[in-house]
């Protein structure tokens, strides 16, 4: 069913260019053969691999900063996860008898995104297990790229959280001082009511996952994607906007109990999630109106988890939760056809 | 000032520079022409001539067989060699009247200015347009007299002249507006009179500043005609998009421009109308842009209808060795040709010759739900869903999502990063659904 390569009965080979069979007439001299195809005969240069590799490039500042912040060790975690993801992709392609889809970059991206959400000292073998799960169960089981419902990297992370809940909440302090455990700004606030300075949060001199600490570098990469139109600006706008407004309202109601909205924006994995996870094309709505609903839903779920739930952080679950609604959102937000009359 | 335009759409690389400054040249009278009996939307013509008969230029050789149809005329003087099937640019083969010329180009009657056209009645103008075999020269070839005969209950208040030429590469309309702006203005006024409207609007995309200037000059004496520069965007030349851009009216789904009181015609059509009404000259020639990186010397030529493509290609210095694709029309909606033996027809706005360097190398990826096609669709449809439903033959869902509203502009397939043949699948879906509807209608009668 999802096999686009299978010829569909009655469909003309619409876009495959092939030389025409000889004209019916009684032509004598052989004529040059011109290509026949159905219009359009022009296309943009954007292709799926280009999009994927651009997203990977946009993540690089945050990854490099993660290495600088948490030490060389991080590079090995990244490699373990990416290699496991690519290997899983290759094996499953083979099993399904498909052409290799490694070159499109999506497996590399999934592996990379997964490590971004892991604590610096997370065991490499476990990271690899998470990557295998992300590709196999998060993506390929649905039919491969384009067919998955949930963001594969986040599904891998959810699996790791369920399986290794202690390891995944053990944070090390920055500047490579190994094995000194620390707390993330969200954790310190939630459990100890200690505020972390905003400037540190913005620049990334804080504890946290490998790729989420520096809001600045994530925003740089994210804005690049928005400018290239490889990410829909409505998603970070509605997600971050909802968090800011809802968080702000609660802060106004009770500033003792709840942190201010700026803290919400720059803490935890929100920036990473808003720019790189929620904007995943496959698992976000296709309609403009739908993306606003999606972003609002994620923001609301995030605030509920952060302020009223048992966990300090809720970016992952907020995105996964709304991923599940995407097909429904798409269905009920069909744009009005040009000239369609109000009903 | 912010330029007017419509919502969504795309902006492909223009490539107009290849031929936009090439002045119109008249192609030498061809030795033979192949005039298809069917080169317009509607019923094909019935040939009026027989094998061996001599004809003169401008003589009617095919009579229309219905209201939505258009007569054809001999485009050179000579002898009817045969009436047979030959390669047709819109399909594999089609019935054509093959005329071999006598080299004299003798006209059936000399052109003389008719008595002042302003004294003609509306019906008389429409009649002249019909007899001259004029169809929309933008590429759709819809008989113009039909457009000029709206039913009485439709109140037409605005005439829109389409000078967008939004297809990349093509420059035929551009050159006509620059070099024949007086005729364009005259044709506009005649068409306005035929429709009995007081307001005329000429929409020209902003990448043709010389055409805008020329048209402004030619219409400066007429206060009721306005030239509107438009932001460059494809498919602005589509009627519905153009009406939205110039006068901000929404043609209802399934409706026609008539429903919002508008008739749209192309620049070339206006010139043909002016010549038909003031000089009794039938439509026997048209402007064709021969362009692309595969042609040695891109040009804009005035060619007789029925001239084989080969003649035009030769006139432009021939093809480069690596030319692999010949397209009639523009790159977004044009039709590929398998041979150069096809004739120029009334709908031939251009001949685009592409080399292997500019042909798309297709590799289809799975749909990644990026929604780019949705952001490009000028009709605000969901191309990815429509193509999917057409592919799995779920006609009901495809129709519910409005597949029949697709104008087949190809913007979706143009932007798709997965290179999915979206518009191609939608086109097939539309054909099938329309076919089923026709059958269902026949069954109930």
The pTM of the whole model exceeds 0.90: no
Interface size between A and B, measured as CB pairs under 8 A: 196
Mean pLDDT of the A314-340 span:
92
Rounded to whole angstroms, the Cα distance separating A241 from A299 reads 8
Taking the CA of residue B351 and the nearest CA in chain A, the distance in Å comes to: 13
Q: What is the pLDDT of residue A11?
A: 40
More confident site: A193 or B196: B196
Residue A28 maps to a domain: no
Instruction: Mark yes or no for CB contact A51/B334 under 8 Å.
Output: no
**Hey, how many other C-beta atoms are within 10 angstroms of the C-beta on A205?**
16
Interface contact B339-A23, CB threshold 8 A: yes
Predicted confidence at residue A66, as pLDDT, reads 86
Please indicate, yes or no, if residue A37 is contained in any of the structural domains. no
User: Is B178 in contact with B130 (CB distance < 8 Å)?
Assistant: no
Please answer whether residues B345 and B95 qualify as being in contact, where contact means their C-beta atoms are separated by less than 8 angstroms. no
Residue-level pLDDT at A342: 56
CA A301 vs. chain centroid, Å, equals: 17
| Structural domains counted in chain A | 1
Q: What average pLDDT is seen over chain B? A: 91
Confidence of residue A2 (pLDDT cuts 50, 70, 90): very low
Three-state secondary-structure class, residue B204: strand
**CB A104 within 8 Å of CB A145:** yes
Position B227 scores a pLDDT of 95
Which chain B residues are Cβ-neighbours of A140 within 8 angstroms? none
Per-residue pLDDT of A157-209, as tens digits, reads 999 999 988 888 777 766 544 445 566 777 777 666 677 777 777 777 777 78
Is residue A30 a part of any domain in this protein?
no
pLDDT at res. B162: 94
For residue B72, give the nearest of B287, B345, B271, B349 by alpha carbon: B345
Q: Is residue A41 one of the residues assigned to a domain?
A: no
Cα B159 from Cα B185, distance rounded (Å): 12
> Average pLDDT for residues A21-49, to the nearest whole number?
73
> Which carries the bigger pLDDT value, residue A121 or residue B100?
B100
* Residue in the block written with tokens 């191309």: B383
pLDDT at A242: 95
Asked if residue A27 is part of any domain, the answer here is no
Domain membership flag for residue A20:
no
Task: Work out the average pLDDT over B111-135.
Answer: 83
Confidence of residue A210 (pLDDT cuts 50, 70, 90): confident
Give a yes or no: residue A318 inside a domain. Answer: yes
Mean pLDDT is lowest, of A95-99, B106-110, B207-211, B391-395, for B106-110
Tens digit of each residue's pLDDT (9 = 90 or more) over B143-191: 999 999 888 888 899 999 999 999 999 999 999 999 999 999 999 999 9
Question: Mean pLDDT throughout B245-269?
Answer: 92
Q: Where are the domains of chain B?
A: 117-279, 372-443
CA closest to A336 among chain B residues: B380
Q: Which CATH superfamily is domain B117-279 in?
A: NADH-ubiquinone oxidoreductase 51kDa subunit (3.40.50.11540)
A4, closest residue in chain B (CA to CA): B366
Flag whether A25 is in a domain.
no
- Write out the residue range of the structural domain in which residue A172 sits: 48-332
DSSP A190: I
């Amino acid at each position: 069913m999802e096999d686009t390569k299978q010829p569909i009965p009655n469909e003309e080979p619409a876009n495959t260019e092939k030389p025409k069979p000889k004209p019916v007439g009684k032509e004598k001299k052989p004529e040059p053969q011109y290509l026949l195809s159905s219009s359009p005969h022009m296309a943009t240069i954007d292709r799926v691999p280009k999009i994927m590799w651009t997203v990977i490039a946009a993540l690089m500042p945050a990854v490099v900063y993660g290495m600088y912040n948490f030490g060389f060790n991080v590079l090995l975690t990244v490699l373990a996860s990416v290699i496991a993801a690519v290997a899983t992709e290759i094996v499953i392609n083979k099993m399904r008898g498909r052409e290799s889809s490694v070159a499109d970059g999506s497996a590399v991206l999934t592996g990379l995104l997964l490590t971004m959400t892991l604590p610096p000292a997370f065991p490499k073998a476990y990271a690899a297990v998470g990557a295998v799960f992300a590709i196999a169960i998060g993506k390929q089981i649905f039919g491969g790229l384009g067919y998955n419902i949930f963001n594969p990297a986040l599904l891998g992370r959810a699996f790791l959280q369920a399986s290794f809940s202690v390891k995944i909440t053990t944070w090390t302090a920055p500047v490579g001082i190994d094995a000194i455990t620390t707390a993330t700004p969200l954790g310190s606030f939630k459990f100890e009511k200690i505020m972390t300075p905003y400037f540190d949060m913005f620049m990334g001199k804080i504890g946290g996952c490998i790729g989420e600490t520096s809001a600045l570098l994530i925003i740089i990469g994210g804005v690049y994607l928005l400018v290239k139109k490889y990410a829909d600006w409505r998603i970070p706008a509605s997600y971050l906007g909802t968090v800011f407004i809802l968080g702000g309202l609660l802060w106004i109601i009770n500033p003792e109990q709840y942190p201010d909205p700026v803290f919400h924006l720059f803490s935890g994995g929100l920036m990473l999630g808003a720019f790189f996870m929620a904007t995943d094309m496959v698992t976000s709505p296709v309609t403009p109106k739908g993306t606003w609903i999606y972003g609002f839903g994620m923001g609301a779920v995030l605030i509920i988890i952060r302020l009223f739930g048992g966990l300090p952080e809720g970016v992952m679950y907020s995105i996964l939760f709304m991923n599940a609604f995407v097909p429904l959102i798409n269905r009920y937000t069909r744009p009005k056809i040009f000239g369609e009359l109000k009903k | 000032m912010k330029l007017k335009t419509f919502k969504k759409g795309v902006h492909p690389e223009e490539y107009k520079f290849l031929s936009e400054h090439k002045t119109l040249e008249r192609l030498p009278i061809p030795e033979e022409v192949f005039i298809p009996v069917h080169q317009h939307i509607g019923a094909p013509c019935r040939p009026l001539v027989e094998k061996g008969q001599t004809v003169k230029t401008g003589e009617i050789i095919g009579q229309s067989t219905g209201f939505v149809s258009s007569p054809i005329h001999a485009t050179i003087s000579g002898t009817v060699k045969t009436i047979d099937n030959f390669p047709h640019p819109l399909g594999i083969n089609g019935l054509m009247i093959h005329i071999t010329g006598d080299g004299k180009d003798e006209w059936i009657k000399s052109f003389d200015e008719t008595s002042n056209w302003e004294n003609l009645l509306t019906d008389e103008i429409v009649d002249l347009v019909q007899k001259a075999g004029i169809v929309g020269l933008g590429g759709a070839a819809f008989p113009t007299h039909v457009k000029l005969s709206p039913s009485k209950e439709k109140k037409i208040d605005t005439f829109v002249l389409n000078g967008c030429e939004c297809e990349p590469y093509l420059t035929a309309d551009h050159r006509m507006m620059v070099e024949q702006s007086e005729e364009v203005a005259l044709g506009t006024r005649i068409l306005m009179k035929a429709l009995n409207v007081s307001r005329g609007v000429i929409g020209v995309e902003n990448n043709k500043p010389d055409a805008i200037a020329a048209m402004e000059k030619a219409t400066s004496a007429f206060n009721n005609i306005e030239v509107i520069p438009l932001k460059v965007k494809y498919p602005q030349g589509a009627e519905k998009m153009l009406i939205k851009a110039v006068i901000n009216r929404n043609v209802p789904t399934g409706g026609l421009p008539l429903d919002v009181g508008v008739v749209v015609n192309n620049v070339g059509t206006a010139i043909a109308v002016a010549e038909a009404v003031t000089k009794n000259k039938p439509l026997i020639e048209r402007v064709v842009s021969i362009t692309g990186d595969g042609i040695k010397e891109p040009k804009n030529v005035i060619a007789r209808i029925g001239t084989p493509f080969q003649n035009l290609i030769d006139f432009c210095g021939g093809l480069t060795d690596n030319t692999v694709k010949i397209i009639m029309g523009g790159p977004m909606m044009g039709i590929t040709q398998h041979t150069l033996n096809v004739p120029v027809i009334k709908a031939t706005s251009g001949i685009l010759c592409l080399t292997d360097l500019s042909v798309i190398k297709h590799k289809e990826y799975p749909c990644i739900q990026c929604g780019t096609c949705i952001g490009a669709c000028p009709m605000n449809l969901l191309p990815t869903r429509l193509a999917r439903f057409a592919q799995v033959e779920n006609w009901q869902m495809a129709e519910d999502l409005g597949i029949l509203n697709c104008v087949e502009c190809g913007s979706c397939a143009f932007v798709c990063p997965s290179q999915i043949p979206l518009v191609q699948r939608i086109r097939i879906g539309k054909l099938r659904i329309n076919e089923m509807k026709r059958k269902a209608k026949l069954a109930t009668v």
